[in-house]
Structure 1
Amino acid sequence: MARVRYVGPEPVTVPELGRAVEPDEVVEVPDGRYEGYVCQPANWEAVEEPRPEEIETAALPLRKAARPQKEG
């Protein structure tokens, strides 16, 4: 998650976070919503940008075990 600081003059309720944010408070926001905060420089400033998307290690499909070779 990314982090931003609220630089407004008085507390503000942020429905997305489900609570009020105090002036000069640093809060975590979803990476996908980070730009929605920092595009408002009168209210928010960047603290920690979203991390580059890590390579997701998708679960590989399970392979059936090889059949044992018949000796003979």
Structure 2
Amino acid sequence: MARVRFIGPEPVTVPELGSRTVHPDEVVAVPDDRFDGYICQTTTWEPVEEPALRGEHGPETVAFSGAEAGAPKKTTARKES
């Protein structure tokens, strides 16, 4: 799980974390897939520990076989009658 710090001025209740009350300057663990949803709120949360990378190149990497990774196939436009 990733970790973020709450930098807001007053305690807040976070429903996504089981309705937990989070206090100013408190660090909490959040699900890796929700990390961006917290740190995009730059006046409220700051990153502490980013999500763990999945796989050699991170979570967004997609592996293709040699045949799939080749040159794109050309298509011809069909004439409508």
> Structure 1-normalised TM-score?
0.73
The equivalent residue for 2:50 is 49
Q: What letter is aligned with 2:26?
A: E
How many pairs does the alignment contain? 55
> Structure 2-normalised TM-score?
0.65
Q: Secondary structure at the match of 2:25?
A: coil
* Deviation, structure 1 residue 54: 4.1
**C-alpha separation in 2, matches of 1:53 and 1:20:** 30
> Percent of aligned positions with the same letter in both sequences?
67
Which structure 2 residue ranges, 5 or more long, are not aligned? 57-81
**C-alpha separation in 2, matches of 1:54 and 1:12:** 35
**C-alpha separation in 2, matches of 1:33 and 1:11:** 20
The equivalent residue for 1:30 is 31
Q: Secondary structure at the match of 1:34?
A: helix
Which structure 1 residue ranges, 5 or more long, are not aligned? 56-72
Q: What root-mean-square deviation, in Å, do the aligned CA atoms of Structure 1 and Structure 2 show?
A: 1.1
**C-alpha separation in 2, matches of 1:2 and 1:23:** 18
Greater Rg over alpha carbons, structure: 1
